Structure 1
Amino acid sequence: MEPTADLEPYAIDPSGPDIHGEAERLRARGPIARVVLPGGVQAWWVTGYELTRQLLTDPRVSRDTYRHWPAWENGEGELARTWPLAMWVSDRNMITAYGAEHTRLRRLVARAFTARRTLALQPRIESVVADLLDQIDADPHDGPVDLRAQFAHPLPVRVISDLLGMPDHLRDRLLVAVSGMLNTAATAEEAKSYEHAMYAALDELVEHRRASPADDLTTALISVHDDDGGPGLSHRELVDTILLMFTAGHETTVNLLDHAIFILLTRPDQLALVRGGSATWADVIEETLRLEAPFANLPMRYAVEDIALPTVTIRRGEPIVVSFGAAGRDPEVHGPDADAFDATRDTRRDHVAFGYGVHHCLGAPLARLEASIALPALFDRFPDLTLATPAAHVLPLESFISNGHRELPVLLREGAA
């Protein structure tokens, strides 16, 4: 294979119309290739599963933009002012920290985001699922229902909002801003507007919870911030950690549910495996995560020092984008049918959809719990569920980061118009 360093960098489509096709074109260049991101920023793009796991655990790779990306100019240069994706690299929280700083932040966050809190949410999740299904079932007309908007989206939004203690009016404002941030086709001006709106809502949330503390994650994080007994969270770390929990705590689960439903409606043979007991809902969830990573690609990481690989050398300070979606479809791991859904696939759990190593997502158990409750409840309530439009007409989000559909139109009952 021709070394990827000798090829012209591949221009990533910011609107994300075909992220899997793009991943395959990049995979043809090897497990790592040069790309051009929106705004003309060049980076390395990692598609190989084993190389992804290697770089996610390599101490020579950092997500600290301020320390390890010279082109960022410590957030004071042109990129910080005009790059449409600046918000994706400017935040300060546990997943962007490096080394000892990451350990400190993750330990502080883990104190507030415990397994006990996750397990305690099961009755609430079951209640929200039942409520949403009742609302959908009560609709008098037999026309199409958008299950992304009416089921896949509101479920994790309600759950993470409860967990964070977020009032409805701030939640709705934050959702608009986060949705704008996830649109990687947005202009720099639009992205900056969403960023301002996002931090205004987060600041209001912190002030609200500081004045009215409750048994929620935001209050717990504020107490860490205000703790005089040692290094807690700075204000920027506090709001960025809340933003991380809110965004990752709903968008990943929205896309997981969206794709799992879509796949089962387009692959009735796979749904039959579950109904017949040959596969479990846990199998469906893991295979969906493998095939359709909720965040397909995530900018950025940086080489702390030169990293020599078999075909290329990543130079110190060069940015890296990990393609979680491509890693999940690596044929060297999953075979020649890696692009096909198979709930009984032996390698269905061999994915990095929730990260890997020290940056593995703390909220992964919550996402799996929500999906394990929501999916069987949906298909039990509506056993004749079908897509309301040809699968090819169900359009992807305008994002090369967030991997989901704009809408998921379905018919609830046989014979519905």
Structure 2
Amino acid sequence: MRMRFRQICLGLMLGAAAVSAGAMDDLDSLLDVAQPVAAERSPYFGFVEFSAARAYESPSHWSKLRARGVLGMTGRLGDAAKWKISGRLDADMAPAVESDIYPTAVERDLRDEFMVREAYVDFAAGGLDYRVGRQHVVWGEMVGLFFADVVSARDLREFYLPEFDQMRTPQWAVRAEHFGDDWHLEALWIPVPSYDDIGKPGGEFYPFLAPAGARIAHEDKPGNRPGNMNWGLRASRLIDGWDLSAFYYRSTDITQTFYRTSDAPLVFTPRHDRIRQVGATFSKDLGSFVLKGEAVHTHGRKFNTNNPAAPYGLEASDTLDYVVGVDVPIGADWRVNAQYYGRTYYGHNDWMDWDRNEQGWTLLVNHAFTDALEAEVLMVSALNREDYMIRPKVVWQMTPVWRGIAGFDIFGGDTYGVFGRYDDKDRAYLEVRRDF
């Protein structure tokens, strides 16, 4: 019954998207889209997207055959408040087509899914601006990886490959903000947190490399009680062109920690620890380039270790994550972004599979051939060992509402590396999207 309901919802949403787009007007007269000179802004928005990815390492297989529909609406409650609501429905047939590759649990997880993306009300009271409901809260944003973006949960079933705005999972939150001339204060309360979606064991990008013969138990998510609520404070200020911010965030970690909950048989259980994070971000337009950076100190996380005497197979360690980057436009058609990043483990010991100071770099090169056609390559690599990801792609903005993307996701390096563990998941992909 539940599956039937979700299938009906999927059909209704995709159908509504098609109707809202005028049934796409026969592919908008074969992509020759006429734009009205002065059209009244519609309260509806969204897109329909079809994407396919083919993993070409042996055994080659489909890693994604997904249809996605997003439909949203905005409005006002008189002059005092405004609201926004949106939902997303996905249907991925790849696990069903490749049933000899993926376990049944993975097929069920990806077959179809509905998510409320945003559902909030904005209003002002007592000199503060409030946003109440399911919302995105983005405290940091760099290229290719996450650092100070600590609030949003993420859909990691495709690793870090999707666009970040689609990866992020909004939180049910109450946010209060106060804006000054060159400063901004923000308070955040999340009574019912969302957590990273890592999928099911056997999924294409499941993050935990379990020892041979080990079993992964069902994820142990925290209950909805006061002790598991999240809250944070953030302050920003503009000083001589420097955009500076600092925050404190107390939360139940969005990231899973894999506890060894049984030795015979060997069982690991994903759980979420209580953590504290203090962070800062900065950016400055220096004329010929933009300088950006982020840093986050985390207390309370535990990490898997080879020490057989460690409780639950874990060692506690504070960490410092940091990144510094530059974004450089070159002429009218080129853009280069380079970043240096790292993580320091303050509780490091020889039982861990990584160094005390892990470091890496990213490089993004983008070239626009025309207003409608551009090519881009993103490279991410560790410095401590061979461990890398390379992502070339071509983007064709066929019309203002039609977009096509074709590219490759290539991984390599150490079997236990962040990227090298997916060395056999290299894939080619194609996406077609219609906005409305």
Shorter chain as denominator, the TM-score bin is under 0.3
User: TM-score, normalised to structure 1's length?
Assistant: 0.24
TM-score (norm 2): 0.23
More strand by share: 2
